[in-house]
Structure 1
């Protein structure tokens, strides 16, 4: 994997660049749709490529390990072939899912033992086994196994957790060095910065992660309940330390406004379940603010869901009244149309951010558009 930094905004730390993988190029800043189980829920791969214009998607190590399992995955030739997606893929390490199973897991130096949410069976994820699974999945970018501390955490807990994540990272680096990829294309390891909401720990973690000299770096442990100003403060602190010549990935963030604010602080890559999960509940993101399409006010509104030039074709073809009707009736098409709309909106937003960075208008544009994005309509 290679990263070319093309331009940095003069008024902010926003960057435009290109990540080159064996499955294609990714223009940054970029948003990555989440495809937990080998599918972005409700969206066909052809729609992802042609309408959403996704350049990279996520697969989930924990969920794919449990279903369909690595025997099936390897027989298919990896996730790219299994789901017929020839663009880049990133896999998380499973660490966040283990974090979310607090009542079902036990963390030791070896790794995390957890009970499956499906059938209660016991499993161990270690740095080595997490990466072995990611080798079998065949993602272009793989994540180091880490512990994500809850918010709030004491300084002592966050520090101990950070050091554990660092020790696990050293094992991840060794495993990646000593094990070959399985499907003939390269895989890049991204370490993950931890440290809770404590600036001193985040600084130490960034310095340790940077010293590993991996192809890219990630900022984890945010968007777990901390106040938004804390998220922005920690993101800025991390971006000030992490190497400028390597891509920076802020994991699990966030709303359209969050994304623009963190682009301004130097982040290149984002993922979040919000656009797809909230779509299924009738929440639409637009340039004029957030729409709850279930509300009665849209019941007889026959204007397009979104008539912006960059909107999904389905958003220009169908009305708010139609989508309101579908989602109130529980029709499957409602979730599909809403998800296509939201993901297309997210991707068009980061594309415009990239254009603004390159032409020197990002700062003024961002300051004008963020308040609009946060309005409730």
Structure 2
């Protein structure tokens, strides 16, 4: 039911095939975030058309509304939301950090105060798995604690030990064989703790593993040292998921280090704020300088937005506050990331990923390629 095998490698970068109950997907890939079982403004058929393979939904938010029992009664996420491909649900653990002012952590789990109505809700490893089983995702995440940056070494150690105990409880709570449970390694940006967390997590021999607790404000150099270490330790025959990462340059660097799966709200949130992703960075469509430009966002892009509309029209929509602007930019930004991973897969299969990453960096950064990217590129070849 769940099988992952490598199709090609170039340095540490890899192309893989991951079989799920709702179809096989090819990695590396980017997963659009559908927090409320909806990628904001985009139809499932549009997501399929631009090359989306897996969607992500949020356990915490769906627990609050509409409730897991209602989703289960309506056919799980596949029947409820209309996306028939694979789904991944997070565990709710990220909200331990992002909603820290509304929650209390202890050994049992997390006591939340709902951001909707103030109700107190306890989320434990058992409850997280129960909710994810009701939602019916193909890939489910073990309940974890994502510590904020910066955190003391003592806090990071206590947090990762708690996460390991919660992982064991998550495994015991899981009952559905048609869902793949991924464990999450923590440890912040401490090399020793990250190593320990990763090694102890892979002892559970799970269908896949996530690199958690990064992209939370730490320097890029520190983040990619942790990614490089993690992919050295994680098993070759399991998918590797770098949680919450979606900037194009981060994807290219992390793919070079052997990461397979990514997710982030960045492309759609950026689109709603009026920005379009392009190889050189991003365009600010709020700027009046685009109001006379008849060319598309990216002449080399095959998305509906670029094939149909000018920068002038999109700038008009954004400046006028028309919702269509955010929708069209979100569509383009997601297609941009999907095209980027498609190009990465092609480069890996041709054995030229290093050249691909260097060409990307030269176009994105010019002569000022940052040290963290160069470090990742050098580690890719080791």
Q: State TM-score, norm by structure 1.
A: 0.95
CA–CA distance in structure 1, aligned partners of residues 260 and 31 of structure 2: 11
Name the count of aligned residue pairs: 366
RMSD, matched Cα = 1.2
Q: 1:149 offset after TM fit, Å?
A: 0.6
Q: 1:313 offset after TM fit, Å?
A: 2.0
CA–CA distance in structure 1, aligned partners of residues 31 and 339 of structure 2: 12
Q: Which residue is equivalent to 1:67?
A: 65
Q: 1:374 offset after TM fit, Å?
A: 4.9
- Counterpart mapping for 1:215-254 below 5 A: 215-254=207-246
- Counterpart mapping for 1:131-280 below 5 A: 131-176=129-174, 179-180=175-176, 186-280=178-272
Q: Which residue is equivalent to 1:24?
A: 23
Q: Which runs of 5+ in 1 are unaligned?
A: none
Deviations 1:240-272 (A, max 9, x none): 001011000000002100000000011000001
CA–CA distance in structure 2, aligned partners of residues 111 and 88 of structure 1: 28
CA–CA distance in structure 2, aligned partners of residues 288 and 315 of structure 1: 16
CA–CA distance in structure 2, aligned partners of residues 374 and 325 of structure 1: 29
Q: 1:89 offset after TM fit, Å?
A: 0.4
Q: Secondary structure at the match of 1:218?
A: strand
Q: State TM-score, norm by structure 2.
A: 0.94
Q: Secondary structure at the match of 1:223?
A: coil
4+ long deviations beyond 6 Å: none
CA–CA distance in structure 2, aligned partners of residues 272 and 374 of structure 1: 22
Deviations 1:129-151 (A, max 9, x none): 00000000000000000000110
CA–CA distance in structure 2, aligned partners of residues 305 and 239 of structure 1: 35
Quick check: 356-365 or 310-319, which moved more? 310-319
Say whether 1:38 aligns with 2:29. no
Q: Secondary structure at the match of 1:259?
A: helix
Q: Which residue is equivalent to 1:311?
A: 302
CA–CA distance in structure 1, aligned partners of residues 95 and 307 of structure 2: 36
Quick check: 238-247 or 67-76, which moved more? 67-76
Q: 1:113 offset after TM fit, Å?
A: 0.3
Identify which of 319, 326, 330 aligns with 1:335. 326
Q: 1:332 offset after TM fit, Å?
A: 0.8
Q: Which runs of 5+ in 2 are unaligned?
A: 367-382
Deviations 1:50-91 (A, max 9, x none): 1x2101110110011111112211210101100111100000
Say whether 1:362 aligns with 2:353. yes
Say whether 1:348 aligns with 2:344. no
Q: Which residue is equivalent to 1:111?
A: 109
CA–CA distance in structure 2, aligned partners of residues 291 and 359 of structure 1: 31
Say whether 1:320 aligns with 2:311. yes
